[in-house]
Amino acid sequence: MNGWERVKSSKSRFGRHSHISSDDRPSRTVRLGHVQPQAPTHRTIYCNDRDANLTVKFKGNSISTTKYNFFTFIPKGLFEQFRRVANLYFLMISILSATPFSPVSPVTNMVPLSLVLLVSLCKEAYEDWKRFQNDMAINNTLVDVLQDQRWEPIPWKKLQVGDIVKVKQDGFFPADLLFLASTNADGVCYTETANLDGETNLKIRKALERTWDYVTPEKAWEFKGEVQCEQPNNSLYTFTGNLIHQKQTLPLTPNQILLRGCSLRNTEYIVAAVIFTGHETKVMMNAMNVPSKRSTLERKLDKLILTLLATLFVMCFIGAIGSATFINRKYYYLSLGKGVEAQFNPDNRLVVFAATMLTLVTLFSTIIPISLYVSIEMIKIFQSTQYINKDLHMYHAETNTPALARTSNLNEELGQVEYIFSDKTGTLTRNMMEFFKCSIGGEVYGTGITEIEMGGAQRTGNRVEMYKSANAVHEKGFNFDDARLMRGAWRNEPNPDMCKEFFRCLAICHTVLPEGDDSPEKITYQAASPDEAALVIAAKNFGFFFYRRTPTMIYVRESHVEKMGKIDDVAYEILNVLEFNSTRKRQSVVCRYPNGRLVLYCKGADSVIYERLAPGQDDLKRITRENLEQYGSAGLRTLCLAYRDLSPEIYEGWNEKFIQAKSSLRDREKKLDEVAELIEKELILIGCTAIEDKLQEGVPNCIETLSKAGIKIWVLTGDKMETAINIAYACKLIHNDMKQFIISSETDVIREVEERGDPVELARVMKEEVRKELSKSLEEAQSCFRTVSGPKLALVIDGKCLMYALDPNLRTMLLNLSLNCTSVVCCRVSPLQKAQVTSLVKKGARKITLSIGDGANDVSMIQAAHVGVGISGQEGMQAVMASDFAIAQFRFLSDLLLVHGRWSYLRICKVVTYFFYKNLTFTLTQFWFTFQAGFSGQRFYDDWFQSLYNVMFTSLPVIIFGFFEKEKCSASGMSAQWHLPVLL
């Protein structure tokens, strides 16, 4: 973990700077995931002019993620400690022991309390010191800043708004920057944003054409632009502003902004201007406190302490009544009526009662163990660092990733989990895309069988045998088995020309960057998504090897095109790239062949491609659609491919409009989309691709084991219902013996209303249909439970129905139905719905819940559950940063819950019981002696022995018990101890 990742981790857990402050606007609270409305004012920044920016007094670039500073450590630290009931109680006892009513020396109470507070404060100081060191490492990182026509290295903390900086390859951006120029042609650079949004794929950023020349320090010194932009905010994906340069106003978009925390890739260096610094950068404004989670046992511990306080009060009350009754002048040795002892004056028994009450409170104070919290914290930290973090059974050798307990507060909570909410992609599956099947010109290629298909076969009771030919090629990103296309055999297919177009579309229509040697065995691809990399790798294996690109050219080594054994290096000129976005759902490239042929290649979702096909392809469209449905049922991710030949006249006319839209200052994105519509039409369908995302190793066995342990598992996925059900079968989450309740929006009644296009009527009908289905399913579920050997139940519901089922009027019905089910699958759900479902069960069922996911879209679900587990997988570290525990593979969850969770729960429970037992025994002895001493409040034990009983004499046996106590392994049934943790 590098310095930046460490400070990012600290920010996620301890980020407290949730304000944006500036001289020209009021402060306001900013929360992650919620973009606050911006003030109407803007800020003006003078680039390369520190004197002009001094009047505005922008924030510095130094950051602090510490919880305390030199002056606040003592007051804030003590405040945190005295929020605990036990510490506050002993503070009161210490004060009371300094009064004349105390039978013990005040020092004997103050010293143990001071020791306990000292240990706790030292722990806080150590953790905050580590955060301070991380901050210093970041603040003192050097960056090149333009000063007097040369680059001068200065620490990040001295960077100011408006400075011109130079960031080298693999370096991190020190602040939010305006991208001016790069060493790459066409002003392009590539950034990795894993520290920011969890995505490991490269992003392309492009500078304004007017600033491309400012690469050298001499040239950059001439740059004197003025930036007018929005105020600092926490929206990672938006930016509005203008650059006024040489009396021209140039619009700025997020495409020209480089955010702090991202790193530069595949670019020698870039030159940029500082826009936002320090705590006004977007990454720092997204720093937030992870919700404070307390374990159920800790909350019960507070109640137990309050119960002991009530017991203490009863004991003191009995003693005080006895003293007021028993007191008599014949007990001359009490020196009645003289000095302080006047409290025992038999003539004023009410004073005797009150004075004895205070005396006995001090005397019986040991009923509450002063070292309880410290001992439990030590035990939890030991369990986390020595058992969970070092268990080889939860170590993933491939990625060198051990398990990580990010907090020690919830160890015992793991042993009480009853509901697990899991994401699918990257959590149950590997998120490692492999080209698996394809359809070209209506012909299906690929003979493999997916795990999901095997699950579907199990669902119908059929048996499927896996077969793989000896000549099958399998590399990372490619798992295709069909001899008809491999090694040039496609030339003998009925549609060789269509195959050729298919392979060229894969090799040309993308934004992938090649790295390394230009040989098929050594080259690596940097892609915007794993799907895109898989398609390029597929083209390579089919004989169309993409090995080099420049801003205007793509080079493809084509083999087996005209005849076997012939290899040609073909250079395709890339004229235009129509980029993919969530609205377009497609990507297009206009290229020119060496012979002058102009072609538009397009790939995208089947729905958008089919709308733009030329007429006369009905048979091909029907066959390809059937193939798409078949691939979807097998759990494969699909894309459609199409192309269009362009005449020079059509292209030239369109390109003029494209250039105009590209240089437009207003609504540029909208105009580019409109121009793209003009050429992305009359397409010829080539076929479709199918990419597999396999299940992680051990997932079915893990789910089966957890189910046997009585834990109910819910899968929340964005897949189609059919795919989700097949995945559930493959994971052994659902099997044929279960009774399934399926609540879907794909019914004839709902489709009929959708066709009318009335949203109000649709909402009313859907809510009524969902209510009927829930009511009917709930009745059937209850009838199943009335039978002696009723089947296990499973619920499958899609996102549209779930939206209405979460309505306050139907929520109770949904909760009752789902709690009766062993397995629940929610498909087509949004990140918000994941969190809503988790909260519904957490609050409604009052059971311990656990959420597990790997992506930024799982953060809300992870934070909503009692325990959050992050998978440190392919989608970066965003889920891990928000989690309480991190593991590398889903299968490790069984060890985490059934071994470490259960042992931690049993140990802490026994430690608490042990503590209360020994303290009650100790105190009740003193209580019984009170009866023998005439309720006079005389002590049975020495002062120091009484005070050090908890802190010194009996603490070690309890702590050792908490470290090493284990449950005995039973010969039959589910036992938590199926293995001993093998430590690193």
Show which residues are catalytic: 423
Question: What distance in Å separates the CA atoms of residue 156 and residue 136, rounded to the nearest whole number?
Answer: 10
SS3 state of residue 8? helix
What is the amino acid identity at position 337? Answer: G
Question: What distance in Å separates the CA atoms of residue 664 and residue 675, rounded to the nearest whole number?
Answer: 12
CB 802 within 8 A of CB 837: yes
At which residue do the structure tokens 């699909």 appear?
638
**At how many degrees (to 10) do helices 496-508 and 530-541 cross?**
140
CA dihedral 681, 682, 685, 688 (to 10 degrees): 10
Residue of 853, 846, 802 whose CA lies nearest to 824: 802
Expressed in angstroms, the distance from the first to the final Cα of the chain is 19
Token pair of 983 as six digits: 């430590």
Half-sphere exposure of 342 (CA within 13 A, CB side): 4
Residues 6+ apart with CB under 8 A from 350: 324
**At how many degrees (to 10) do helices 811-819 and 759-786 cross?**
40
391, exposed or middle or buried, with CB in 10 Å at 0-12, 13-18, 19+?
A: buried
Cα dist from 529 to 431, 639, 719, 917, whole Å = 10, 13, 18, 59
Give the β-pairing of 598-604 and 637-646: antiparallel
**At how many degrees (to 10) do helices 296-326 and 85-97 cross?**
30
Residues 6+ apart with CB under 8 A from 742: 721, 796, 797
Question: What distance in Å separates the CA atoms of residue 80 and residue 92, rounded to the nearest whole number?
Answer: 16
Residues 6+ apart with CB under 8 A from 209: 187
Residue of 517, 525, 409, 510 whose CA lies nearest to 478: 525
Residues 6+ apart with CB under 8 A from 924: none
DSSP secondary structure string for all residues of 607-622: HHHHTTBPSS-HHHHH
Question: What distance in Å separates the CA atoms of residue 340 and residue 351, rounded to the nearest whole number?
Answer: 12
Query: Edge-to-edge strands of the sheet including 176-182?
Result: 150-155, 142-147, 164-168, 269-276, 176-182, 257-258
Question: What distance in Å separates the CA atoms of residue 135 and residue 14, rounded to the nearest whole number?
Answer: 12
DSSP secondary structure string for all residues of 874-907: TT-SHHHHT-SEEESSGGGHHHIIIIIIHHHHHH
Give the β-pairing of 867-871 and 848-853: parallel
What is the amino acid identity at position 38? Answer: Q
Determine the longest span between alpha carbons in the chain, in angstroms. 125
CB 361 within 8 A of CB 318: no
Question: What distance in Å separates the CA atoms of residue 256 and residue 279, rounded to the nearest whole number?
Answer: 21
Q: How many residues are there in the chain?
A: 984
CB 158 within 8 A of CB 30: no
Cα 191 off chain centre by: 21
